[in-house]
Amino acid sequence: MRYVCVFCGSSSLARDVYFDAARRTGRELARRGLRLVYGGASVGLMGALADAALEAGGVVIGVIPRALVDRELAHPRLSEQHVVESMHDRKALMSELADAFLALPGGLGTLDELFESLTWAQLGLHGKPVGLLNVDGYFDDLLRFCDRAVADGFLHPAHRAMILAGGDAGALLDAMRCFVPPSPGKWWTRA
């Protein structure tokens, strides 16, 4: 695991606890020599994450759609900044570059990126680990929803187990490094 793609919010209205977690995550990635791949913005948790990684000597690679360069304020100091044509191109390139995916708190865009990564893993298009940094219980309800999806027969338990979650970035990165993708057979069969 050398490249970690992090999904997180670009809103500047988030609580301080989330900004602090983003900064800790950026520093932890740099400390471990892991290269950060993210959405390329200089604002919100995205900016805090990138700034912390850069300040700690890390390599930061941004991927931002041309239409969002001004709206999300493309980060001017990244190691690399890729400007792509669409959101789909953004997700595809981030996935191509990444060895692992980590979601921090965010909104609809973060959830879209997270679930696309999980869906691709479920379909066997990649075997990369996917983690949720569950800051202040932010993802508790989402994890309960996934448990309900298993109980009601919509999600195979092996695919639910692909969602690694924890409140500490270092411990979560350790778990992601040790991840072995499941091979439950056809995804639509019952457990």
On whether residue 191 sits in a domain, the answer given is no
On whether residue 182 sits in a domain, the answer given is no
On whether residue 190 sits in a domain, the answer given is no
Domain enclosing residue 111, as ranges:
3-177
DSSP secondary structure letter of residue 138: T
| Residue type, position 162, single letter | M
On whether residue 91 sits in a domain, the answer given is yes
Query: pTM of the predicted model, to two decimals?
Result: 0.94
From edge to edge, which strands make up the β-sheet containing 80-84? 80-84, 60-65, 35-38, 3-7, 100-103, 130-133, 163-166
For the stretch 51-108, pLDDT in tens is: 999 999 999 999 999 998 877 689 999 999 999 999 999 999 999 999 999 999 999 9
pLDDT band of 182, cuts 50, 70, 90 = confident
CA atoms of 86 and 65, how far apart (whole Å): 5
On whether residue 104 sits in a domain, the answer given is yes
- 76-102: b or e for each residue (b if 16 or more CB lie within 10 Å)? eebeebbbbeebeebbebbbebbbbbb
On whether residue 97 sits in a domain, the answer given is yes
DSSP helix/strand/coil, 84: strand
On whether residue 68 sits in a domain, the answer given is yes
* The pLDDT of residue 184: 56
For the stretch 112-163, pLDDT in tens is: 999 999 999 998 899 999 999 999 999 999 999 999 999 999 999 999 999 9
Do the Cβ atoms of 48 and 22 come closer than 8 Å?
yes
> Domain count of the chain?
1
On whether residue 36 sits in a domain, the answer given is yes
pLDDT band of 187, cuts 50, 70, 90 = low
Do the Cβ atoms of 40 and 71 come closer than 8 Å?
no
Task: Look up the CATH number of the domain holding residue 77.
Answer: 3.40.50.450
